[in-house]
Amino acid sequence: MTFQLQNYIDVRVMDILSCQEVKPEIISWSPRIIVLHNFLSNEECDYLRAIARPRLQVSTVVDVKTGKGIKSNVRTSSGMFLSPTEKKYPMIQAIEKRISVFSQIPAENGELIQVLRYEKDQFYKPHHDYFSDTFNLKRGGQRIATMLMYLSDDVEGGETYFPMAGTGDCSCGGKTVKGMSVKPIKGDAVLFWSMGLDGQSDPNSIHGGCEVLSGEKWSATKWMRQKPTF
């Protein structure tokens, strides 16, 4: 079913890094998915958008043969990666540390944050975040988990869709489909694992970005690996 504000973990976590109250909610155990309400402040969301806007380029996907980024009609957004220098900015450092605290994965195991913009009719078809090539495994190993942070409101559609989660129907870009979806709400984040408890890549972690019907969907993604990436 479409994710509703229910089934919260019965605890509120006060983030000492930002003095804001982050409220975790488990929405699926297989695949493992947690929605973190109020993960980013309005100021942090606007800051990431401001950094990214003048540097947006057409998004790419990983070529399984070469491990390099290539353009594809599977993904129709625009985006950019923060630089290693920007990773050291105080506000970015606070976000990085918060991601590490809630994922329980060391900050040095994370890739650089990618900021994305989806405009009307844009989408990202269902895919896995873990790698199918050997090239990308050389730096940091396999991807363990993903933190997907929403940076904007006033968007229709644009849900994050997990076709293998749940047992009901959900809304995805104005269509009713099987699985579970999370509506983008500014400041919220979705933490999900690409690797199961057995240490193997989890095929149930397949997910996509539903078509945006109106407005702009801004998000920031942090992928986390088995080992340090830098």
Q: How do residues 133-180 score in pLDDT, each as one tens digit?
A: 888 898 899 999 999 999 999 999 999 999 999 999 999 999 999 999
Q: What average pLDDT does range 47-74 have in this prediction? A: 78
Give the rounded distance of the alpha carbon of 108 from its chain centre: 18
Residue 206 has pLDDT above 90, yes or no: yes
Concatenated DSSP letters of the chain: -B--S-S--S--EEETTTTEEEEEEEEEETTEEEEEET-S-HHHHHHHHHHHGGG-EE--EE-TTT--EE--TTB--EEEE--TTGGGSHHHHHHHHHHHHHHTS-GGGBPPPEEEEE-TT--EEEE-SS-SSSTGGGTT-SEEEEEEEE---S-EE--EEETTSSSSEEEETTEEEESEEE---TT-EEEEESB-TTSSB-GGG-EEEPPEEES-EEEEEEEEESS---
Beta-bridged to residue 15, according to DSSP, are 20
Number of domains in the chain: 1
Residue 5 lies in a domain: no
What's the pLDDT score for residue 135? 82
CATH code of the domain in which 188 resides: 2.60.120.620
Q: Which domain, by its residues, includes 79?
A: 13-225
Indicate the pLDDT class of residue 83, thresholds 50, 70 and 90. Answer: very high
Residue 64 lies in a domain: yes
Q: In this predicted model, what pLDDT tens digit does every residue of 92-121 receive, in sequence order? A: 999 999 999 999 999 999 999 999 999 999
Average pLDDT over every residue of 181-202: 96
User: What integer pLDDT is reported at residue 4 of this predicted model?
Assistant: 37
User: What is the structure's pLDDT at 151?
Assistant: 98
Q: Does the predicted TM-score (pTM) go above 0.75?
A: yes
